[in-house]
Amino acid sequence: MISESELRRKRVLVALLAIGCIVAGVVLLMVGGSDGLASAFLRVGLLLGAFWLVLPSKDRPAAWAHVSPWSIGLVVVLALILPRVKYYVPVVVAGVVIGWLVRPRNRKRQ
């Protein structure tokens, strides 16, 4: 188990790396450096910021501490299926909206 001081040190390190990458990306964009390198710095900085948010702290456990294996499996299956059926998603959404709009309503007559 990781001690509290080591966990705090790792959180600070991840936060500093995230801020450093975002600042480097913005500076490269302003100076006119390589757009690819700047965008890579920005993406890595944003990802490290997201990791910083889910790291455990003194007050709360890790964000993934209560995630069930079924949830992870569902996300993996959706990630594999969605690119193949992405053209059908608007049709399904439109069908659900139309079905909701034309459904029979239970109105009480006076």
pLDDT at 83: 79
pLDDT at 103: 83
> What are the CA-CA distances from residue 87 to residues 74, 75, 92 (Å)?
20, 19, 10
End-to-end Cα distance, the chain: 68
Sequential pLDDT tens for the chain (110 residues): 677 788 888 889 999 999 999 999 999 999 887 889 999 999 999 999 998 888 877 777 766 677 788 888 888 888 888 777 778 878 888 998 998 889 887 766 66
pLDDT at 24: 93
Helix axes 35-54, 4-31, angle to 10 degrees: 160
pLDDT at 109: 64
pLDDT at 1: 67
Main-chain dihedrals φ then ψ at residue 103, nearest 5 degrees: -65, 150
CA distance 62 to 11: 12
